[in-house]
Each structure stands twice: as structure tokens, then as C-alpha cells.
A and B are shown apart, each in its own frame.
Chain A
Amino acid sequence: MTPPVNELVDADRGYINPLVFTDQGVYEQELEQVFGRSWLFLAHGSQVPKRGDFIQTYMGEDPVLVVRQKDGSVKAFLNQCRHRGMRICRSDQGTSRTFTCSYHGWAYDLEGNLVNVPQEERAYRNEIDKSKWGALKVPRIAEYKGFYFGTWSADVPEFEDYLGDMAYYFDAVFGRWDNGVELVEGTSKWVIDCNWKFASEQFASDMYHAEVSHASALIALHEDPAFWAGTSHQTLMPGRQFGGNGHGSGSFWADSIGFSESMYNSPALSEWVTANADEALRNVSEQQLLKVAGHNTIFPNFSWLAGPATMRVWHPRGPGQIEVWAWTYVPKDAPDEVKAAYRRMTQRTFSPAGSFETDDGENWTEIQQVLRGWKARNNTFNAQMGLGHDERDVHGLPGRTSDALSESAARGFYQRWSDLMAGLSWSDIAELDAARQAKEALHQEVQEA
């Protein structure tokens, strides 16, 4: 039978029990303990620019409406009618003054308050207290650099504490332009038959796969076979991986500020990024521009890349399926032709038809298929890369880092997952993390001595 949930991963030894990817019971618990208690990405402000603008998204499997309010703030509520549970709004996106349920007509305002009940006098004899039957509001929403995150949890730390050292890596990408970024309108959505953690973990912690999985991507991007050795050339470059609070970020370092033209074959982008280096240097450090350029995940399921400008949420759909919702982000103030260059380069590499992206999904679906096997499902996975070689606050990078080819962030990701799944309170988790860090420091001292 299924072992206790807190024994499914052993982050200290780098063991993962594959049941975490297949078990329905584990999944049900994840919806409550992980998705119900973490900060989840809701929207970028540019998706809902004007009052009444809304998008429908998901928190785990729960549909929510994210709406720009009359006062300019952004609020969100469960897209479920309080009368008999009908989906209140059935468009992906739009502009509205109210949301009227198409079952019996209960109507909600932009905040989700119930404002109208048809036949209120005859059917309810005016006895219904509408103030008690508003849509379920997302109680906490945080805005960070134009990005909106929401949580159902009353205890999860404030968003910036939740980010911790990950803020440095987030800011390096999204905080470098004076007026931030905006999303290209329209979402690419597709379905992959795999567990959500394969995708999230990979974007947190896996530079290692690129050379093999994406062997064909450079062949698509470049006509000249001399470039095709590019990914292996890249693995000779120095680089670090960060892991903390369940988040992860990893990059090979650049030797100059600018967009990696040789990799993505986009001179227009390189030129513009180089020409605007001063603006970036006013907002973030040179270190950030040189050393943060790769893969990233904010726990549990929000990821982005800093080369191709893709950003995505991996929405869970049962233990064996995800919906990927992906966007391209562009500097808000960039001229149209630069935005177009970002858009094309990103879609050609990372979209359901992208030369990198398609090969990622192939791995995850095959893993999930193999895990149908009884032996396969009980065969421990190895997450030991770089075990025992973490360092803290080195190379000018904050937090716990390791070589770029490491699974340090993956171990951190599963540690946070395990703590939440065990039902530990957020204050218990904070205490545990502090104790782990103290042990780490001791270990570092012993090694140095």
C-alpha cells in the first residue's frame, strides 16, 4: 500500500518514489495541501488593462475569474455560482459590467458580490440575504512588479517572504525595464498526459536535459552546421543553479550584456538589448544581467525562461495530465519590431509547435506511460546530482546555489512539496527550513576546515 506521504521523497538522499506522480490519493491531497496553501500565479496586469476586463484562469483545478476593478485594483473569485454551482462566466476573456449565471440568472458584480436574483420577490419572498451569497472570493492577492498572485491560505507568508531569495532571480528578468513587461495577447494552451511536477521541476532544476533532449532545436534555428554543436559548447560555460523555498533558477553565465544572438539567431533583439543596457543597469545589477538567463520556477507551478521570453503555468488535471498555458512576455516600452522579434523567436522555440518545446512533452508523456507498470511505479528515481555540493551566497548570487548541472533545486522543490503534503503549518515549515540551513552552515564550515 501507499507509504505515508512524508516518506515519498527523501530530499537529503535524493530519492523520489514515483508514486508521487501517479497516485490519485496523493493528487487529491496536493490540491488541498499544495495548491490550496501556496501562492499561485493569476494574471499579469497587461491581461486586464481596463476596468471590467476579465480573464478566466485556474487555481489548481478551481476556475477563477480575475477582474480589473473600478478602482484599478485586481480581484479574483471562484467562477462558481452559489445557487447550484454553475460556471458563472464561460468566456476565456472579455469585458463586462456584471457576470450573470446562465442557469437561473443570479448576477454578480465585478468583485463577485451577488447583486441580482431573478424573481426575488415571488421566488424568495425577499428573504434571501444576497450579501451572504456572493461568489467565493480569493482572500489574498499580491501584486509584484505587475504580476498578480493569489492564495486561499490565511497562513502562507506574505508573497515577498514566500519568494525569498528567488526575488533576485525574478527581478533580474522582469524588473530590468523601467516600465516592466507586458504579455503578448492570447494564450497558447495545450494538454500533456503527464504529472504537473515533471514540468515544474524541470523548469526549476534541469539544465542537464537540454543537450540531449533538445539536440534538434539548434538544427532548426541555424542553417550552418557549425552552430549545431552549440548546446554542447554551452555546457562548457560556467553557470549556477539556485534553489530556495521550493523555487529554482538556473543559468549558464554570459560574458557580456546582451541577448544571446548566436543561440537564437535574432540580431534585432541583440542590438536592442545591448543599446538599452543602461536602462537595465539602472534597475538591476550587472551580476543579474550576466548570471540570470535560464530556467525558472516559482513553487508550485509558475515557470519562465529568460532567453526565449516564455512564461507559463502548468495547471494540474489529475495525477496524469496537465494543461500548459503559455505566454510571451515583451518589454513594455520596446518598439513594435522588437516586440515582434521577441514574439516570433519565442513561439518558434517554446510553444506547442516550438523546436525546443515539443521534445519536452515527449519525455514527460513517455515517463507517465511507463509508470503504469507496477514495478515501474515502485522503482526509486535518482535525484542526487550535485548532492552535498551546495554552497550559500557565493559568486555574488544570493541563497543556496550549486553548479548549473545539478538537482539541488529539484531536491528543494520536493522538500517543500513534502512539508506541505505532510500538513505542516507554514510556521513549522519556516522553523524546519531554518534548522536545515543551520545544519548546512555547519557542514560548509566542516568542509572548509
Chain B
Amino acid sequence: MTAMIEHSGGAQRDQPDAGAGSAYRRTDVLTQHAVEQFLYAEAQLLDEHRYVEWIELFADDVHYWAPTRMTRTHRERDREISDVHQSAYIDDDLQYLKGRVRRLTSGVAWSEEPPSRTRRLITNVRITPREDGELAVTSNFYVYRSRLERHEDWCVGERFDVLRPVDLDATGYPYVVADRRIVLEQTTLLMPSLSILL
């Protein structure tokens, strides 16, 4: 992982109120374009419930993870978001992520049958190329959900992705997601379930 990813998550800081230097990031325009279009395409597949295509965007060794979070004091805020050994809402490998797709397409997954209607806004896409050729990408998301007659809720947060370049002509997409950490802003989720994918 790059320094950016570690620091943005609230891990150790050298000084309590300092981050990892300048927050400014710049990438070449083509990479920025490709990454943004990839993330928008992924959002479209989810909004259109095209889960069988969506699952193809993930690497065999993916860790797809949404840790829990709590309210802590400023002094103890490095312990606000759970680490890999602590609680998570989602802690999947590819095998279980495929299981979620089987469930969502089964016709008997009652929390998504009839399915929720979602609209995803992906913004603030920022890229740090890594030495191994993969890209560390952070983005903000706002996922609005409308369900059944009049239920609505929304998930807002930040995603920390690692994108691995693949053959665009062979797969139709320039990357696969090799790692994803989803950090939600709420500590008590104001929703009956996280039955949608993020």
C-alpha cells in the first residue's frame, strides 16, 4: 500500500495533526480519464443490477472490505476505524463475493427481491501510481437507495481501491479491482441492511 492509503485511513501519524505532506495529487490525463470511466462503468453495472458482469471486474485475490467505525475522541481517533483483525460489515474474498452475486440473482433474496433502486455518484477520484504498476485510487461515493413503496436511505463514504491493469481488448475494461476498502461515514448505519453492493 502507498503512504497515501495508510494515512488517509487514519493510521499512525508522525504528529497528531499532520498527514503525509501535501494532499495535492496529479496524474496524467489519460490515466485519470481511464480510471474515472472505469469507476463510472462499475457504478452503472450495479445501478442496472448487472451483477454477473460486475463480478468480472474483480481480481482472483481481491479483498473486498468494509470495516466498522466508532465515535472516538480526537486524541484516540487513530482507533476510530477498525483494522483487518477487528469488526467489519463486509470482509470478502472473491469466492464469497461471487456468493453475494448468486444470492442477489436467485430470486429469493428477500432484502433485494424486489430489488432496490440505486443511483451512485462517484467523485473526487485521485490516483497514485505504485511501483508495481498498479494504481492506488481513492474516491468518494454517494449511493442513494429507494426501496419498495417509500423506503429510502443513502450510503456516503470513501473507497480505497487498488486497480490492476488488464488487457482492455480481451475484457472490455482496462483494470480489475485488486483491493477495495469501503469506509462509511456513519457509525450507526441508518439503514435496515446493507443488502446492496458498494
Contacts and interface: CB of A to CB of B under 8 A. Distances in A.
Given A92-B71, A347-B88, A353-B90, 5 more contacts: A92-B72, A92-B187, A185-B86, A188-B89, A344-B91
A290 interface: no
Given A94-B73, A186-B67, A215 B87 contact: no
Interface string B61-88: 0000011101111001000001001111
The 6 closest A-B pairs by CB, nearest first: A186-B87, A358-B111, A358-B193, A220-B99, A353-B194, A220-B103
A408 interface: no
B191 A190 contact: yes
A340 interface: yes
A135 B31 CA distance: 58
A449 B104 CA distance: 54
B75 to A, nearest CB: 9
B193 A353 contact: yes
Interface string B87-127: 11111100110111011001011111000000000000000
Interface residues of A, number: 47
17 contacts: A91-B76, A93-B70, A184-B86, A185-B82, A186-B70, A190-B194, A193-B192, A215-B106, A219-B103, A336-B85, A340-B85, A353-B194, A355-B103, A358-B111, A358-B195, A361-B111, A366-B148
Interface string B140-159: 00000000110100000000
A93 B80 CA distance: 9
Contact of B194 (A192, A220, A352): A352
A366 B108 CA distance: 16
A276 interface: no
B190 interface: yes
B91 A347 contact: yes
Contacts of A192: 192-193
Nearest to A190: B189
A359 B111 contact: yes
Contacts of B103: 216-217, 219-220, 355
A221 B99 contact: yes
Interface string A352-376: 1101011101110110010000000
Interface of B: 66-68, 70-73, 76, 82, 85-92, 95-96, 98-100, 102-103, 106, 108-112, 148-149, 151, 187-195
Nearest to B89: A353
B86 A186 contact: yes
B72 A355 contact: no
Contacts of A188: 68, 87, 89, 189
B76 A353 contact: no
A343 interface: yes
Contact of A94 (B72, B89, B91): B72
A348 B91 contact: yes
Contacts of B187: 92, 189
B114 to A, nearest CB: 11
Interface of A: 90-95, 184-193, 213, 215-217, 219-223, 323, 327-328, 336, 340, 343-344, 347-348, 351-353, 355, 357-359, 361-363, 365-366, 369
Contacts of B89: 188, 347, 351-353
B170 to A, nearest CB: 25
A222, A327, A343 — most chain B CB neighbours (10 Å): A343
Nearest to A362: B111
A363 B195 CA distance: 14
A90 B193 contact: no
A323 B72 contact: no
B85 A357 contact: no
Nearest to B101: A220
Given A323-B188, A358-B195, A365 B151 contact: yes
Contacts of A216: 103, 106, 108-110
A191 B71 contact: no
Contacts of B106: 215-216, 219
A288 B194 CA distance: 34
A215 B99 contact: no
A187 B87 contact: yes
Given A94-B76, A184-B86, A347-B88, A352 B110 contact: no
B4 to A, nearest CB: 24
A109 to B, nearest CB: 18
B198 to A, nearest CB: 9
B82 A186 contact: yes
Contacts of B85: 184-185, 336, 340
B11 to A, nearest CB: 16
A186 B68 contact: yes
B72 to A, nearest CB: 5
Contacts of B67: 186
Contacts of A347: 87-91
Nearest to A322: B192
A356 to B, nearest CB: 10
A329 B189 CA distance: 21
Given A216-B106, A359-B111, A184 B87 contact: yes
B77 to A, nearest CB: 10
Contact of A361 (B92, B95, B192): B192
B147 to A, nearest CB: 9
A352 B70 CA distance: 15
Nearest to A90: B71
Given A219-B99, A219-B102, A221-B99, A187 B90 contact: no
A212 to B, nearest CB: 9
A352 B189 contact: yes
Nearest to A184: B87
Contact of B66 (A189, A219, A353, A365): A353
A191 B188 contact: yes
A357 B193 CA distance: 8
Contacts of B148: 366
Nearest to A363: B110
B194 A191 contact: no
